[in-house]
Amino acid sequence: MAGPAVPGKRVRADTVPADTVPATTVAEQRSLGDLVALAVSDITQLVKFEVDLAKLELKEDARRLGIGGVLLGVAAFVGCLVLMLLCFAYAYGLIAAGIWAWAAFLIVAATCVLLAALAVAIGLLKFRKLSGLRKTRSTVSDDLALIRRDDAVSPTGR
């Protein structure tokens, strides 16, 4: 290490303490081309990250959709078997209550149609609860707002 500078004595450049060398900022050392290239690189990376986020959200929604569809299919199959048995029991119960056989089976059929309509309504409500890329839309909006900057601000900061 070099000691304090003595007048008349030559000091090697590699031994000069770092705090005596004039400091220049990184921004002053970079050219305009370097800054543009850096900005393009940052925007490219930002777009890549947004696409990756969209892919992750779509995979999650597809998985939920697949699981929901399979479970609805299983429930529909088992429900059909049980419903068929219950329909016969319901119809024969109405016949035992004194209703004509044709009227009893007609009442059972109308009840089945109402249950089917209810099942369709519930299924549609479940499918409407998908996220729809909520996070991706939010981050893209934030990124676009950052890139555009407010035109109302003048260069003097007013």
As for how many domains the chain has, the answer is 1
157: alpha, beta or left, given left = phi > 0 and alpha = psi -120 to 50? left
- Provide the residue type at 87 as one letter: C
Residue the block writes with tokens 């088992």: 78
pLDDT-wise least confident of 3-7, 76-80, 112-116: 3-7
Q: pLDDT at position 20, please?
A: 53
Whether 123 is covered by a domain: the verdict is: yes
Q: Would you say residue 18 has pLDDT above 90? A: no
Whether 110 is covered by a domain: the verdict is: yes
Q: Would you say residue 30 has pLDDT above 90? A: no
Query: Do residues 72 and 123 lie in contact, with contact meaning Cβ atoms separated by under 8 Å?
Result: yes
Whether 86 is covered by a domain: the verdict is: yes
d(CA 53, CA 44) in angstroms, rounded, equals: 14
Whether 113 is covered by a domain: the verdict is: yes
Whether 103 is covered by a domain: the verdict is: yes
The boundaries of the domain holding residue 116 are 81-130
Whether 121 is covered by a domain: the verdict is: yes
pLDDT tens readout for residues 47-94: 899 998 888 888 988 899 999 999 999 998 998 898 799 999 999 999
Q: What is the pTM of this model?
A: 0.38
pLDDT tens readout for residues 126-150: 888 776 677 877 888 887 777 776 5
Whether 90 is covered by a domain: the verdict is: yes
Contacts 24+ apart (CB under 8 A), 64-70: 64/130, 65/127, 65/130, 68/126, 68/127
Whether 71 is covered by a domain: the verdict is: no
How many helices and strands in the chain, by DSSP H and E?
A: 4, 0
